Structure 1
Amino acid sequence: MTFPTFTSTQTEPHARGKELGTQLRQRIVANIKGYTDLFTLAGAGPAQVRAWSEQALDRGDAWAPWLAEEIAGIAAGAGLEPWQVAIVNARTEILAAADAAGEGECSTSVVLPGGGRPPRTVQTWDWHDHLRDAPVLWELSPRPGHVVRTFTEAGALAKIGVNSAGLGVHFNMLHHDTDSADPGVPVHLIARRILDEATTVAEAVGIARSATVSASTVITVVTATEAAAIEITPAGVAVVPPGADGVLLHCNHFLDPALAAGERHATDRPSTYDRQRHLQANVERLAGEDLTTRALALLSHGPDNAPVCAHPDLTQPLNQRWETLATIGLDLPAVRLHVHEGGPCRVTESTWQSL
């Protein structure tokens, strides 16, 4: 099983978006439907979702108008309104506005081995099982000579990815007391702008700090020689560096002490701490050169062990069902994403898809 792949030929934002929207129309429409169902279970009706989506799009337009133009292009290609495509790009903000949360989510490992050796990265991407057909792999050139490759959701401008400047991005959701129902710049647009523009961790931090957000996330940025977990909240942005051993691990709770005081996710869903402990206990394998070895280091199932590799409980409503939909590693020297469809328990040497 593999995810669909699309390579843009257009470089102007609206034209690039229209090309994508035309080619992936069915997946984008299905993704919007899946999120609409999720929002409905969270108590957000169609009129409220549209209002939140339009506001998030307006905030994104004020911050990065060329990205809003690309969203408009996707909508034009897919036969939709821009606010509908903005639903997917602002799904984190809409979920925060609806005060929706769940037990699952992602686990990320980045190791800088030093000695001129490339970074070793891997993460699980956990999400609701009814959205397992949402992911796509997308290659684009936001400007001549600069390539971005991203694992994202159909209609969303970016998520996890690499760029030809040698910078990579991992992505995890967070929840903070200051998250609000006043949608700000979508965090997925921040990830895309980092991939489009940043060549260093400092530049990525500057982009994150320039956005006014309403929902929290952590974007872990890595280059050949540096890494940082950029924890983004309405209360501010914190930068968490690797330890002295070059290890940087992140699940779904804040590592910065000041932001951790406003922690929401982990206070009643403590499995994120169990997952963090599992990563720490397996650092030696997570630092390995072989991606399959790193992925298998993530293999742990609940309830007896840390639920790093998640499988849905089909007795639960869809907003409480979580599945590891992808396992992803970054190859910065080659500017490549390596993606396995599903969790670590099904990873083999032959199941990797590369972009």
Structure 2
Amino acid sequence: MADDPRTLGAECAGEIRAAFDGYARLFAAHGIGFEQVRALGAAALAETSEWAPSLGEELLGVAEGSGLAGWQLGALNGRTEILAAAAVSGEGECSTSVVLADGSPRTVQTWDWHDTLRDGMTVVSWPGVCTFTEAGVAGKIGVNSAGLGVHFNVLRHASDHADIGVPVHVVARRILDEASTVEEATELARSARLSASSVITVVTADRARCLELSPAGVGVVDPVGGVLWHANHFLDAALAPGERTTVDVSTTLARGSWLRSHAAELGAADLTARARALCAHTEDGAAVCAHPDMSLPAHERWESLATISLDVVAGRMHVHTGGPCSVTPESWAEFAVRPAVSTPAR
């Protein structure tokens, strides 16, 4: 739980410091030096403060509470932008499915990332917002008290560049903070100047939409037959020609095909059955459930670190630590949105 950024920073100081150290090692492995990280982190914080002043203040408060510098929180929140600035490619991350059904969407996704960063996973609850994220990062996947939820996958586009823009994780959090409809979320996403790409899948009781964020623009992908899915390649016709993820480094196309062909199972009302429908490995034709190859260097290993489902109607998020192949009915942790704090009119 969290209400004050400084308190959150102080209570989670060890985890936030460890997260920064983990990303510093990841950046270094990709040839991004300390001084460059400091400059890019400061730029990410500045962009956040300009586009979302309250979130900029929040990051500075968390930094103060944890004993880190503001630029270090900027680097954590801008980690996608920093990696994009260095044109880093790779396998991940994430496979997302949404099936609209009777006013109660069935959603599920894997969160795939480096196994060395698994200890950074956390859930933070601000008034009105509950988000699965990483220590020190403003937001990622979550649900709000207005009945809107977001899923999150990385993308890579030819337009990605090193002039750091608003961090995509900050965009996800501001959508959770302020949006109650798909249209409001779309408008917010389009108002941000971006330097890196990701897809934010927005879900309400009766709507869903993938917002493909890139510096070249925000593409929109709507459900077909009540089904919406996304892996790690662009689907919007205008943005797809700039796709930078290739089949020689990623299984995204195979995972996308798997999601599309298993829509019936992914629309199961039972949460565990829905998650188990993501249980596909390389030998099944699609590594939706990823396991690290320990023969590879740490910065080239990928793992499904969490499996997550949103209940936007009840304002709840279900998180399983690990990939779909280890999900059981008992393995879910449930988190509820706390009511938003209202301020009396003066």
Q: Does 2:120 align with 1:134?
A: yes
Residue 283 of structure 1, CA deviation = 0.8
- Structure 2: tracts of 5 or more residues without a match: 336-346
Identity of paired residues, percent? 56
- Structure 1 runs of 4+ with >4 Å offset: none
Q: Does 2:53 align with 1:72?
A: no
Q: Does 2:232 align with 1:252?
A: yes
Matching residue's letter, 1:35:
Y
Corresponding residue of 1:339? 319
Q: Does 2:328 align with 1:348?
A: yes
Task: Please list, as runs of the form range in 1=range in 2, the aligned pairs for 1:211-250 lying within 5 A after superposition.
Answer: 211-243=192-224, 245-250=225-230
How well do the aligned residues superpose, as a CA RMSD in angstroms?
0.9
Residue 210 of structure 1, CA deviation = 0.4
Corresponding residue of 1:29? 17
Q: What secondary structure sits across from 1:266 in the alignment? A: coil
CA distance in 1, matches of 2:212, 2:310: 20
TM-score (norm 2): 0.95
Alpha-carbon displacement from aligned partner over 1:96-134 (angstroms, at most 9, x marks no partner) = 011112112100000112xx3300000000000000001
Q: Report how many residues are paired.
A: 335
Corresponding residue of 1:4? none
TM-score (norm 1): 0.93
- Cα contact 1:104–1:310 (8 A) shared by 2: no
Task: Please list, as runs of the form range in 1=range in 2, the aligned pairs for 1:1-355 lying within 5 A after superposition.
Answer: 7-8=1-2, 10=3, 16-113=4-101, 116-141=102-127, 147-243=128-224, 245-266=225-246, 268-303=248-283, 305-355=285-335
Describe the shift of the 1:314–1:270 C-alpha distance in structure 2 as closer, same or farther (beyond 3 A): closer
Q: What secondary structure sits across from 2:331 in the alignment? A: coil
Matching residue's letter, 1:222:
V
Matching residue's letter, 1:216:
S
Alpha-carbon displacement from aligned partner over 1:71-102 (angstroms, at most 9, x marks no partner) = 00000100111111111100000010111121
- Cα contact 2:96–2:109 (8 A) shared by 1: yes
CA distance in 2, matches of 1:318, 1:96: 18
- Cα contact 2:276–2:324 (8 A) shared by 1: yes
CA distance in 1, matches of 2:190, 2:267: 30
Residue 258 of structure 1, CA deviation = 1.1
Residue 305 of structure 1, CA deviation = 2.1
Q: What secondary structure sits across from 1:62 in the alignment? A: helix
CA distance in 1, matches of 2:247, 2:261: 22
Alpha-carbon displacement from aligned partner over 1:233-255 (angstroms, at most 9, x marks no partner) = 00001111000x10000000000
Corresponding residue of 2:341? none
